[in-house]
Amino acid sequence: MADLSVKMAGMDFRSCIFNAAGPKDVTLKELETIGASRSAAITMKSCTKEPRQGNEEPRYYALDMGSINSMGLPNLGYKEYVKFPSLLKSFGKPVIASVSGLCLEDNIQILEAFNDSEVSAIELNLSCPNIKGKPQIGYDFAQMDEVLKEALRISKKPMGVKLPPYFDFIHFEEASGILKRRKPAFVSCINSIGNALVIDAEKEAPVIKPKGGFGGLGGAYIKYTALANVRKFYEMIEMPIIGVGGISSGKDAFEFILAGASAVQIGTAFMEEGPMIFGRVHDELASFMARKGYTRLDDFRGRLKQA
Ligand code: DHB
């Protein structure tokens, strides 16, 4: 039987497959559902200092091969997420907080509060595309460097960073330089491809309401961009990479690990399929590996061959 376990950033994961920050992870009840599923960790919704209702609806739309969303960070506020890890302990898996403060001061306050919580790790989100008037920090390298420096100074938890997709090699180099200097515990890539526009031709209108219809694209549409980001960072930096973007099968997970991912997260496909997806992808990956004669993830991680 294949061993899909992973040790990463000081944590033990039963498998390399768990939920991405975003879908169905706002309330304690939703997080308990993830806890009871075969997700190897419980990742919580990106939190802000104050509770937020999020953007106006419709703000999520499922497409043939993915989704578009402009949720606008609906969440209960960090004080709730600081309490949840101890309430989720019985599931015996890492609990990861996603932190998405609206300014550096908020992030510092939130990270300080998580220092005194039972959370296993922090994923600092530098890539939310859906807040009006707030650019994605991951596209402003000076700000990204400053935020990472301060956040890593404050946090006593293993802290990784969630990045937006990059499309140009010079941007991978700039981002890699910052990551090498600041040394987060892991990198999660990619967030949704920001500010896509999906139009309903019959209605002659966008399918979502906020920001004139512009929102983050997720799911299978973004898998190849996500694979490219995982591969580039695997080549350029020595730290664990969590691959996310368009994973909905064991074969998808295999491709991400081959590109260099230590683990994978599932977003849109969890939203659409529900919590059974974690066990399905796990079993499919195990079968795929067995067919190839692999028994552990280290047998093929990063070992992408030339065409
Ligand atoms: C939201 C979307 C994101 O892609 C993200 O990283 C954080 C929050 C949102 O709209 O809620």
Please give the number of the atom of ligand 1 that sits closest to the Cα of 215: 10
- The pLDDT-based confidence of 22 (bands split at 50, 70, 90) is very high
Q: What is the pLDDT of residues 93-130, one digit of tens each?
A: 999 999 999 999 999 999 999 999 999 999 999 999 99
Q: What is the mean pLDDT of the chain?
A: 98
Distance, in Å, from the CA atom of 167 to the CA atom of 145, rounded to the nearest integer, reads: 19
The percentage of the chain sitting over the pLDDT mark of 90, rounded to a whole number, equals 98
Whether residue 56 has pLDDT greater than 80: yes
Which residues, including other chains, have CB under 8 Å from residue 153's CB and lie 6 or more apart?
none
CA 291 / ligand 1 centre spacing (Å): 37
| Residue 117 Cβ < 6 Å to ligand 1 | no
Q: What is the pLDDT of residues 231-266, one digit of tens each?
A: 999 999 999 999 999 999 999 999 999 999 999 999
CA 23 / ligand 1 centre spacing (Å): 10
| Residue 129 Cβ < 6 Å to ligand 1 | yes
Q: What is the pLDDT of residues 32-51, one digit of tens each?
A: 999 999 999 999 999 999 99
Distance, in Å, from the CA atom of 140 to the CA atom of 171, rounded to the nearest integer, reads: 10
Residue with CA nearest ligand 1 atom 8: 73
Which residues, including other chains, have CB under 8 Å from residue 41's CB and lie 6 or more apart?
11, 13, 18, 19, 93, 94, 95, 96, 120
pLDDT at 59: 98
Q: What is the pLDDT of residues 121-170, one digit of tens each?
A: 999 999 999 998 889 999 999 999 999 999 999 999 999 999 999 999 99
128 tagged catalytic: yes
Please give the number of the atom of ligand 1 that sits closest to the Cα of 55: 10
pLDDT at 1: 76
- Quickly tell me which residue has 């304690």 as its tokens: 28
Q: List the CATH code of the domain at 6-54+73-195+219-299.
A: 3.20.20.70
The whole-number average pLDDT for the span 265-293 is: 98
Where along the chain do its domains lie? 6-54+73-195+219-299
